[in-house]
A and B are shown apart, each in its own frame.
Chain A
Amino acid sequence: MNQNASSVVVESLVKRFGDFTAVDHVSFETRRGEIFGFLGPNGAGKSTTIRMLCGLLQPTSGRAQVAGFDVARQPDAVRQRIGYMSQKFSLYNDLRVGENLRFFAGLYNVDSEVLSERIHWALEMAGLAGREAALTGTLASGWKQRLALGCAVLHRPPILFLDEPTSGVDPISRRQFWDLIHRMAAEGVTVFVTTHYMDEAEYCNRLALIHRGQLVALGTPTELKQRQMKGELLLVEAEPLARAIEVLSSAPGVLDAAVFGNALHLVVPQAAPAIPALRRYLEERGLRVARLEAIEPTLEDVFVSLTSGRAEPGPEGN
């Protein structure tokens, strides 16, 4: 397999809907066999990007090559070489499991000699062996998603695009789905996957953080957590919480404060000296401190830290 066959190269890709810019000069490259995550909140522009990469939407400007072919000029060559799972479930609910598989095998022109073997493989993978005759609409969402994945890989594409494959699926099924993604990647398939679940992003080899159509950071989850934070992270549990955040936002040396569940995450230049200082600061103001300690940042912290300046549209919103 040549270098291009399983790569995605994106240069300054833009998509505008009227005067709204949904994807704003996004550039990145993927490597063969990697799980490349596209992480961002709803409306960030993930689906729009993935649709352009699959040749379903014409880019406004910029360039994207998938498997060595330009998505705008050779969409059909691209479609031969990719598998795509759209965000909304889009198999035929009124077809049986086996009928959906055979339908997509036909559309991908799967050779008749390998057809039954491929379908068998897809059924095994989806955990649907023996349920070929079930109407697709009657399956639980976890199974539906795995069937959709099965349909998308019947022709063994070197590149797989998955748009929020696990949204609306229970945690156990999500875990199983990610195991499947890892199996594919281990076989050399490049997997491009979008998600808005921060915890899932940890399963990716590399991540692009996207916010309001712009790519704000790119790297492995570990790199992002180490490099992208402006300082070190503290976790604070204090009573009452509402007053704690008010007090801490204006406390000396606190760069950023955000609520995470029933605790606060603070960004400070250095954790060691800040812990006793902040404990004193809070207690002097009558707050009861239950916990105050340094923690490893999660991707969510990274995301909040990277986008806090961009959250409101305004002069610094760019």
Chain B
Amino acid sequence: MRWNRFAAMARKEVIQIRRDARSLLIVVAMPILMMLLFGHGVSLDIKHIPTYVLDREGSQQSQDLLKRFQASEYFEVVQAVESYAALVRAIDTGRCKLGIVVPHDFSRQLQAGRTTQVQALVDATDDNTANLIFSYTEAVVRSFSREVELDWLERRGQSQAPIPLTVDARIWFNENLESKAFIVPSVVAIVMAVIGAFLTALTIAREWERGTMEQLISTPVTPLEVMLGKLVPYFAIGLFDTALCTAIGVWWFKIPFRGHVSTLFAASVLFLVVVLGLGYLISVVAKTQLAASQAALVVTFLPAFLLSGFLFATEQMPAPIRAITHIVPARYFVTILKGVFLKGSTVATLGWEMFALAVFALVIGSLATRAFRKQLS
């Protein structure tokens, strides 16, 4: 290990990152974008949906239903209109996204123990939003309907009737509508996975593809110097992005940071060794950038995205999938992140997760130091 050779490798890598717009974008813009996307996406898009109502009956019960929309933080009943045409116009002109029509015989049908229908007009310009609005509407109506049902049964002396099925409106991410506080800290893990997958995984493959590897390995540089020279810059970037995400989380999203910075730092260092080591291993094996990025997507990014507890709570996964999550390093890191931010956990209370990450780091790190051989084919 010669300092000169390591420094030359690292300096070259930094210059190349600086000159590559795509890399810069991943280093600087990606973490900010991810934070905003997952931080805002959860809470803003689906709250305060502008809603118009047309109550054709005007009874106590119809008003009851509409009040439930008013009470929910997801809907904002802007106006009550008198005609169907006015409702349609409001949707067409974008003044509301949802229109609710209560029929003129609403309460009479219910009193008689018959079913009735409430019409919901949804602005479907944006598919996703429309689905979301629809499922919220359904949830409100069903819970109302259940109470009416119970009420009706009770009045007929069947109070011990089975509780009807509860409706579980599932939203794509953050399905339990937990606050953004739960998702934002974990974004750090995703950002690191992206750096590992889309930057590190390409570094060696790029040299093979461009033909620069042949010149490189004809010099006395050692595999260890190549690896460290290539990874240290990405390591620094990873730590920088961790700090950036933490800053955005704390100051922009007002996420509490109850733990200690040193815990976050220690866990980030371990997780970075894991993702950079994985990226490097893939890069050494793959030899083309396309193959490397695809492999990295599957090995680093997707597990971090889907199996870490970032989007989907691991406790709610089917048992076989939950078993798989135990070999996903990001799972441990996400647990640590949530703990450090929200619960003020320390290295001691996170002992098991820290230990697991350290084992991954050790195994992958030592595999990576052995992987690269200075030979053609």
Contacts and interface: CB of A to CB of B under 8 A. Distances in A.
B9 to A, nearest CB: 8
A102 B215 CA distance: 14
Given A75-B374, A108-B219, A102 B212 contact: no
Contact of B8 (A51, A56, A79, A106): A106
Contact of B16 (A94, A104, A107): A94
Contacts of B9: 106-107
Interface string B199-215: 00000000000111111
A88 interface: yes
Contacts of B220: 76, 79-80, 107-109
B221 A107 contact: yes
Contact of A82 (B8, B12, B218, B222): B218
Nearest to A84: B218
B377 interface: yes
Interface string A41-62: 0000000000100111110000
Contacts of B221: 107
Contacts of A105: 8
A106 B11 contact: yes
Contact of B211 (A88, A108, A151): A88
Contacts of A75: 374
Instruction: Kindly name the residue among A76, A90, A95 whose own CB sees the greatest number of chain B CB atoms within 10 A.
Output: A90
A108 B5 CA distance: 7
A102 B8 contact: yes
Contacts, number: 84
A107 B211 contact: no
Nearest to A54: B218
A110 B2 CA distance: 11
A94 B18 CA distance: 10
A91 interface: yes
Interface residues of A, number: 34
Contacts of A84: 215, 218
Interface in B1-52: 2, 4-5, 7-9, 11-12, 15-16, 19-20
B2 A109 contact: yes
A56 B16 contact: no
A99 interface: yes
Nearest to A115: B4
Interface in A104-147: 104-110
A99 B15 contact: yes
A88 B216 CA distance: 13
B375 interface: yes
A226 interface: no
B376 interface: yes
Contacts of B216: 90, 107
A198 to B, nearest CB: 26
Nearest to A163: B214
A51 B376 contact: yes
Instruction: Kindly name the residue among B9, B211, B214, B218 whose own CB sees the greatest number of chain A CB atoms within 10 A.
Output: B218
A179 B134 CA distance: 79
B217 interface: yes
A56 B217 contact: yes
Interface string B222-236: 100000000000000
Given A54-B218, A85-B215, 5 more contacts: A58-B375, A86-B215, A99-B15, A104-B8, A107-B8
The 9 closest A-B pairs by CB, nearest first: A106-B8, A90-B215, A84-B218, A107-B219, A86-B214, A88-B211, A90-B211, A79-B220, A107-B221
Interface of A: 51, 54-58, 75-76, 79-80, 82, 84-86, 88-95, 99, 102-110, 148, 151
